[in-house]
Every structure is written in C-alpha cells, then in structure tokens.
Amino acid sequence: MRVCSSSVSDPSLNSLSFHPNHGGTLKPRILFNISEQAKMNALKNLVSPRRQICAVRKYFNVLGFSFLHTTPNTSVELHSQDQEVVIALGSNVGNRINNFNEALKLMKKSGIHITRHACLYETAPAYVTDQPRFLNSAVRAVTKLGPHELLAVLKNIEKDLGRTDGIRYGPRPIDLDILFFGKFKVNSDILTVPHERIWERPFVMAPLMDLLGSEVESDVIACWHSFTGQSRGLAGIWEKLGGESLIGEEGMKRVLPVSNGLLDWSQKTSVMGILNLTPDSFSDGGKFQSVESAVSQVRLMISEGADMIDIGAQSTRPKASRISVDEELGRLIPVLEAIKAMPEIEGKLISVDTFYSEVASEAVSRGAHLINDVSAGQLDSNMFKVIADLEVPYIAMHMRGDPCTMQNPENLHYDNVCKQVASELHSRVREAELSGIPAWRIILDPGIGFSKKTEDNLDILIGLPDIRGEISKKSFAISHAPILIGPSRKRFLGEICSRPAADKRDPATIASVTAGMLGGANIVRVHNVRDNLDAVKLCDALLRQKSSYMQCRQ
C-alpha cells in the first residue's frame, strides 16, 4: 500500500510505501521517504531497520500519527488517533432506507463516529442500467481505524446486510465506499482512496458536496479539495458535471423518507392543514376538542387538498401556559387514533406538533409520520435521541425561550434577523445531527411569529434565500433541507392589515404564503386549506415557468 498526504495541505509528508500481507495488515518496505531534505539526512545515519522504524514513528507521533506493532519482523499499520473520513452509501435492493438505517447503526457500533450526513438522493442506475433505482448518500465520520481496518469493517457490514458477490455495478442491498481518509491517499491491491471514480459520478459528487460548506473549515477539507487537481477544488468538479442543475431531473432527485415512501419536495409544495385540539389556541381554540369535531375538520381539510395534517394538543401561542405530558396525550391520542381509522387519510401524512419527547414517541407508535417541534429540542433534552431512534422526519423550528417568554424584549432583539435565525437554527440542527438524526430527515422552520417582531417576520418571508445562504456556509446538506413556513393568521398580519380577529386574516395569509413560496418555502402550514391551495398551485406554476425560462436562456 502507498499512503501519502497531499503536498498542498502538508508538504512535509509525501509518501510511505508498504506491502500488504495476507492478513490485511502492512509490512514495512520503505519507512522513510520524507520530502524535507533535512529529515532525509537525519535518517540516513540510522542503519538498522528497528532504528529506522523508531525514528519514523517519533516523527509521525509529532504529527499526531502512530504506529502499531513496530518491530522489524511484524506487521504495521499507519493510522491517526482520530481520522476524518467520508463514506458513500448506496442501495437498490429490498427496503432501501432501512438498509441505510441499519448500516449507520452498524457503523457506529464498529467505531465509526458519524458527524455529518448528506441529503438523500434517488438516482437512476449507472453502468448497468437494467436494475432498480438507487438511494445514495454519504456521511462524514471520525474513526481510529486504519484505512484497511475501516475497509474490512465496511465489507463486514455489507455482508451482514445481505450483500453477496454479483456483477460489478449490479443490484445490491448496500454498498459502502471510502471516498476520503484524512489527508491521505491510499493505493493498494484492495483499496484506493480517494475513490478512483468520484469525479465522474454525479450520484457520488452530490452527497459529497452536501458534507461541505462554502467556507473551508479545516486543513482536512482543504486537502480533499486539493486531491481534485482543480483550482476550484470539489466545487469546480461539481460544476463541470452540471452542479445543482442536475438535481430534480429524472436521473437524480433529493428525497425525504417518510411513512413508506419518498417525498420529492421539489416537484410541488406541500400544504399542511392545522388541527388544534386546545381550548386556548389564538385562532380556533376550543373548536375541535371533541373527537367528532376534530375528525370532521380533518375530513374537510383533506377534501380541500391538504397533503399533511398537523395535530397540536398543546397551545404555543404567546404567554400560553404549559400542560403536562399526560394532559397532552389525553387530548391527542383519541383524536389521532380516530384520524388513523379514516379511509380518507390513506396517502396523507400526519404530523404531531409537540416539544415533549414522550408525546413524540407515543404519537409515532400510534401512527404519526412526522414530529413538529417548535423548540428544536430546547424544551426537552431527550427529544433528539428519541427522534433518532424513531427514524421519522423532524421539523426543527427556530424559537428563543419558550411560549411564555418568547416575546420578552431580550428574545426580540436581532441585529440581522435572517443571519441570526440561520445561525441559531443551524446550531440546533447540528446538535440533532450529532445525536443521530440524519440531515435527510430534517425540515427547517424559521419560526414566523415566534420570538419575532412584525418587521422580523417580514424580513424572514422575503429573506428565505438569505437564510439558506447563511446555513450553506457551514453545511450544504442542511441548507438544502425543505423549509416549512407557518404565517397563517399570525398577529403580525392583523397588525399590518388592521384585522384584530384571527379568522379574518386569511387574505393576508395567502399573500404571505405566496411571498414565502417564491422565496423557496417547500411546505406551508395553514388553517384555511382551500384558499391557500389555490395560491400554492399558482406559485408552483410560476416557479416551473421560471425554471423553464431560465433553461431556455442558457
């Protein structure tokens, strides 16, 4: 095997060469090919293999690397105590998303600590085209495993998940490839890193780009860019392939796994109908407290075209007092069970609006498909772990404080609301991701009406592209997540339009939904489904026309 760092990122370390033996470990062949002449001269005087190995080991220990089994007659493996790696995932046999979930669990159990997830892509097969469509993604992780140890672990995971020898590029339940291993290049009979065909494969490059941000955060990331040999690094390669213009075409689309299917939010905007089971919600408190009235309202919203129903059993209006888990479940579960029994609910998605992890867990066990958390995990420290285990989409909303304190003066102060909402929301989502919630299961909500003044809400509605742009500096994957907006009948609309009664704010709601959609919102949460659906259809048509127009100009 040949292991070397990029000369761009670390000119002091160019190459180390080894012979792999039958056990998959490494025997030393050349242990001192250090580029700096001074280090070469120092090593020339070391005549015994043992002294050579000890000298090189000492040098690499200074760099943060170490040797294992460093005697002349035994095998060695060069590795870092902590190496950052990128691993690609693919599947097109069986339950594809379940294959991904199981692979991630096995990776974590094997000493691979996952730190970032790419988006999830459904892609047309490449090379061998007569086979089912693939799911593709990638993860960044940290591991103490050496490159060949890591390869062996991944091959065992593939085997455990049912992969057998078959035709190259053919169908498989899981495919795990090492794209990058720290700052090193690896070349052996069984492993090449960076993966030799990265640069020609959009279904690999798209997830790989998701794991980065527009700001180069470390020497390791700079090294990955340098491996391309291009002045613009990975971004330049991605653009040459077609970049973002490739996403949404028949060959490759970003998808959100939900229920038993995949949601492609680029094709149409989803309408989420609001069902409040509370006696004190600002718009319709007390109207739907009985099971019969709640079911009737759901039936109406579905008939008017709702794609999702969001059920809330705890009021989150300003100054609302908090109820207990038991009281919230007492309101929620009978209605949820009745809704699940409705024939009309087939093909629709049920979301539960809660900040309690216990409510989330019970709701999903009773058939809910998504969890909508206004606090993004701030009001229940166990929420992220529970959602990670539930493996359902998670709507993370921006809010400062809680419903009782969110409109306090200290929570309403912003220097730049879009920039700060992006930063604060990203920090919550990063914590969620580190807790095991993949980026491909996250939906962002900037929290219109929550710890925001009227002008802040307006800035957000027109500034959704700025929010995505700010997040993209740190994570392309999170910046590509679906955005949900919920301006429906909010107080700021009443202030602007002089409509003190919440149920008189539907025209203003339609205008705010239109503004948000044209700025990039993918899901709209509304009380009045029928009238807002017309606005959604028009905006979707405008966006399709704009896309077609831009393609013609190119």
Looking at residue 553, what is its pLDDT? 74
Largest CA distance in the chain: 89
Looking at residue 26, what is its pLDDT? 42
Separation between Cα atoms, residue 344 and residue 57, nearest integer Å: 68
Cis peptide preceding 20, ω within 30 of 0: no
* Average pLDDT score over residue span 193-204: 91
pLDDT bracket for residue 317 (50, 70, 90) = confident
Active site residues: 490, 525
Interval 425-478: pLDDT, tens: 999 999 999 999 999 999 999 999 999 999 999 999 999 999 999 999 999 999
Rg of the chain's alpha carbons, rounded to an integer?
Answer: 27
Output the CA–CA distances (angstroms, integers) from residue 397 to 216, 375, 489, in the order listed. 27, 6, 18
* Average pLDDT score over residue span 33-49: 37
Q: Three-state SS for 176?
A: strand
Separation between Cα atoms, residue 264 and residue 25, nearest integer Å: 44
Looking at residue 130, what is its pLDDT? 83
Whether the CB-CB separation of 488 and 525 falls below 8 Å is answered with yes
Whether the CB-CB separation of 170 and 129 falls below 8 Å is answered with no
- Residues in contact with 330: Cβ distance below 8 Å, sequence separation at least 6, in sequence order: none
Over the chain, what is the mean pLDDT? 86
Helix residue spans in 27-136 (DSSP H) = 37-44, 49-63, 96-109
- The answer to whether residue 1 scores a pLDDT higher than 80 is no
Interval 510-551: pLDDT, tens: 999 999 999 999 999 999 999 999 999 999 999 999 887 777
Half-sphere exposure of residue 440, counting CA atoms within 13 Å on the CB side? 27
Looking at residue 175, what is its pLDDT? 95
Higher pLDDT among residues 550 and 239, named by residue: 239
Half-sphere exposure of residue 172, counting CA atoms within 13 Å on the CB side? 23
Listed range (20-29, 328-337, 512-521) with the worst mean pLDDT = 20-29
Listed range (5-19, 300-314, 445-459) with the worst mean pLDDT = 5-19
Looking at residue 283, what is its pLDDT? 60
Separation between Cα atoms, residue 186 and residue 278, nearest integer Å: 60
- Please give the torsion angle defined by the CA atoms of residues 417, 421, 423 and 427, in that order, rounded to the nearest 10 degrees: 160
Whether the CB-CB separation of 222 and 9 falls below 8 Å is answered with yes
In this prediction, what percent of the chain has a pLDDT beyond 70?
Answer: 84
Q: Three-state SS for 168?
A: coil
Q: Which residue, chain included where needed, has tokens 């739907």?
A: 288
Looking at residue 319, what is its pLDDT? 78
Looking at residue 22, what is its pLDDT? 36
* Average pLDDT score over residue span 356-382: 97
Separation between Cα atoms, residue 246 and residue 224, nearest integer Å: 22
